[in-house]
Amino acid sequence: MINIKSFRVLKMPRIIKGLLFLLGKERNDICSPNSSLLFWKKAKVFIDGEMPRLMKEYRALGAKP
């Protein structure tokens, strides 16, 4: 099994950043200071602990009436 936290470089960081934003993480928690670039050292903390739980609890709202 591949451990994503052990990676030093990610091929597509926008996907992980988008997923973390969708799950409710703040920009200050996952991005470099004064920028919108994913800071992997800060973001990888959520990969094992919080992200699977948040993905399980996520509920899409669906179409507006």
pLDDT in tens, 9-65: 777 889 889 988 988 889 998 899 999 899 988 888 888 778 888 888 888 887 877
Residue 31's identity, in one-letter code, is: C
- On whether the CB atoms of residues 31 and 39 are closer than 8 A, the answer is yes
| Between 54 and 1, residue with greater pLDDT | 54
The residue extents of the domains of the chain are: 29-54
Instruction: Give the chain's end-to-end CA distance (angstroms, integer).
Output: 43
DSSP 24: T
Which residues share a beta bridge with 40? Answer: none
Inform me whether the pLDDT recorded for 6 exceeds 80.
Answer: no
Give the pTM.
0.72
